[in-house]
Amino acid sequence: LEQPQQWQFDIPTLQALPESHTLGQALVALVEAAKDGSLQAFRDHRRQRKTGSGRTVNVFWIRVTFMGRFPQARITITTGREQEVKFYSHPIVTEKDGQIRPVEVPEKYKGGDLRWFREFTDTTVFAIGSLLKT
Protein backbone atom coordinates (compact mmCIF):
# COMPACT_ATOMS: atom_id res chain seq x y z
CA LEU A 1 0.00 0.00 0.00
CA GLU A 2 1.60 3.25 -1.15
CA GLN A 3 1.48 6.80 0.21
CA PRO A 4 2.66 9.57 -2.13
CA GLN A 5 3.62 12.27 0.39
CA GLN A 6 6.61 13.14 2.57
CA TRP A 7 6.22 13.22 6.36
CA GLN A 8 6.53 16.73 7.83
CA PHE A 9 6.93 15.95 11.55
CA ASP A 10 10.57 16.00 12.66
CA ILE A 11 10.95 12.27 13.24
CA PRO A 12 14.14 11.37 11.33
CA THR A 13 13.18 7.84 10.30
CA LEU A 14 9.85 9.05 8.86
CA GLN A 15 11.41 12.06 7.13
CA ALA A 16 14.00 9.77 5.52
CA LEU A 17 11.31 7.79 3.71
CA PRO A 18 10.98 8.35 -0.03
CA GLU A 19 8.04 10.46 -1.17
CA SER A 20 6.26 7.42 -2.54
CA HIS A 21 6.77 5.10 0.43
CA THR A 22 4.68 2.13 1.49
CA LEU A 23 2.73 1.45 4.65
CA GLY A 24 5.29 -1.21 5.56
CA GLN A 25 8.14 1.27 5.27
CA ALA A 26 6.27 3.78 7.45
CA LEU A 27 5.57 1.16 10.13
CA VAL A 28 9.22 0.07 10.18
CA ALA A 29 10.25 3.75 10.45
CA LEU A 30 7.92 4.28 13.44
CA VAL A 31 9.26 1.22 15.26
CA GLU A 32 12.86 2.21 14.49
CA ALA A 33 12.15 5.68 15.92
CA ALA A 34 10.74 4.09 19.07
CA LYS A 35 13.78 1.82 19.28
CA ASP A 36 16.40 4.57 18.83
CA GLY A 37 14.65 7.06 21.16
CA SER A 38 13.87 9.72 18.55
CA LEU A 39 10.11 9.09 18.82
CA GLN A 40 10.22 9.63 22.60
CA ALA A 41 12.23 12.83 22.11
CA PHE A 42 9.70 14.07 19.55
CA ARG A 43 6.81 13.20 21.89
CA ASP A 44 8.38 14.89 24.90
CA HIS A 45 9.20 18.04 22.94
CA ARG A 46 5.90 18.46 21.07
CA ARG A 47 3.12 17.13 23.28
CA GLN A 48 2.42 20.03 25.63
CA ARG A 49 -0.45 22.38 24.90
CA LYS A 50 -1.98 25.27 26.83
CA THR A 51 -5.73 25.18 27.39
CA GLY A 52 -8.00 28.22 27.34
CA SER A 53 -7.72 28.38 31.13
CA GLY A 54 -3.92 28.49 30.94
CA ARG A 55 -3.39 24.91 32.12
CA THR A 56 -0.74 22.81 30.38
CA VAL A 57 -1.94 19.43 29.18
CA ASN A 58 -0.03 16.61 27.52
CA VAL A 59 -1.42 15.51 24.16
CA PHE A 60 0.35 12.90 22.07
CA TRP A 61 -0.78 9.80 20.30
CA ILE A 62 -0.13 7.69 17.27
CA ARG A 63 -2.98 5.71 15.82
CA VAL A 64 -2.47 3.15 13.04
CA THR A 65 -5.81 2.15 11.55
CA PHE A 66 -6.47 -0.66 9.09
CA MET A 67 -9.76 -0.36 7.22
CA GLY A 68 -11.63 -2.84 5.08
CA ARG A 69 -13.25 -4.28 3.02
CA PHE A 70 -10.97 -2.73 0.39
CA PRO A 71 -7.42 -2.73 1.87
CA GLN A 72 -6.54 0.72 3.20
CA ALA A 73 -4.72 2.11 6.20
CA ARG A 74 -4.11 5.42 7.92
CA ILE A 75 -1.36 6.61 10.27
CA THR A 76 -2.28 9.57 12.47
CA ILE A 77 0.23 11.35 14.70
CA THR A 78 -1.26 13.96 17.03
CA THR A 79 0.71 16.31 19.26
CA GLY A 80 -0.32 19.15 21.53
CA ARG A 81 -0.28 21.56 18.60
CA GLU A 82 -0.60 19.64 15.35
CA GLN A 83 -1.80 16.53 13.61
CA GLU A 84 -0.38 14.72 10.60
CA VAL A 85 -2.37 12.04 8.78
CA LYS A 86 -1.18 9.79 5.97
CA PHE A 87 -3.49 7.51 4.00
CA TYR A 88 -2.30 4.32 2.36
CA SER A 89 -4.19 2.48 -0.34
CA HIS A 90 -3.60 0.69 -3.62
CA PRO A 91 -1.38 2.77 -5.88
CA ILE A 92 -2.77 5.18 -8.44
CA VAL A 93 -1.98 4.28 -12.05
CA THR A 94 -1.25 6.98 -14.63
CA GLU A 95 -2.54 5.95 -18.04
CA LYS A 96 -0.66 6.63 -21.26
CA ASP A 97 -3.14 9.40 -22.06
CA GLY A 98 -2.06 11.26 -18.89
CA GLN A 99 -5.24 10.48 -16.97
CA ILE A 100 -4.91 9.22 -13.41
CA ARG A 101 -7.15 6.31 -12.53
CA PRO A 102 -7.22 4.09 -9.45
CA VAL A 103 -6.20 0.47 -9.74
CA GLU A 104 -9.13 -1.79 -10.56
CA VAL A 105 -10.78 -3.09 -7.38
CA PRO A 106 -10.32 -6.87 -7.16
CA GLU A 107 -13.56 -8.84 -7.52
CA LYS A 108 -13.35 -10.18 -3.96
CA TYR A 109 -13.70 -6.61 -2.60
CA LYS A 110 -16.70 -5.62 -4.70
CA GLY A 111 -20.25 -5.69 -3.36
CA GLY A 112 -21.60 -5.31 0.12
CA ASP A 113 -21.19 -2.44 2.52
CA LEU A 114 -19.71 -4.15 5.57
CA ARG A 115 -16.66 -2.27 6.78
CA TRP A 116 -14.18 -3.10 9.52
CA PHE A 117 -11.54 -1.16 11.42
CA ARG A 118 -8.58 -2.46 13.40
CA GLU A 119 -6.08 -0.20 15.07
CA PHE A 120 -3.18 0.06 17.43
CA THR A 121 -1.60 3.09 19.08
CA ASP A 122 1.73 4.51 20.22
CA THR A 123 1.54 2.15 23.21
CA THR A 124 2.16 -0.77 20.84
CA VAL A 125 4.76 1.13 18.79
CA PHE A 126 6.76 1.96 21.94
CA ALA A 127 6.39 -1.62 23.26
CA ILE A 128 7.75 -3.12 20.03
CA GLY A 129 10.61 -0.59 20.00
CA SER A 130 11.43 -1.52 23.58
CA LEU A 131 11.42 -5.25 22.79
CA LEU A 132 13.80 -4.70 19.89
CA LYS A 133 16.31 -2.92 22.16
CA THR A 134 16.94 -6.13 24.09
Give the tens place of pLDDT for each residue, 76-99. Answer: 999 977 899 999 886 555 566 655
pLDDT at site 62? 95
Query: What are the b/e assignments for 2-26, b being 16+ CB within 10 Å?
Result: ebeeebeeebebbeebeeebebebb
pLDDT at site 45? 86
Which pTM does this prediction carry? Answer: 0.77
Strands (E) located in 69-129: 72-78, 83-88, 92-94, 100-102, 116-121
pLDDT at site 115? 75
Residues (pLDDT < 70) of the chain are 1-4, 90-114
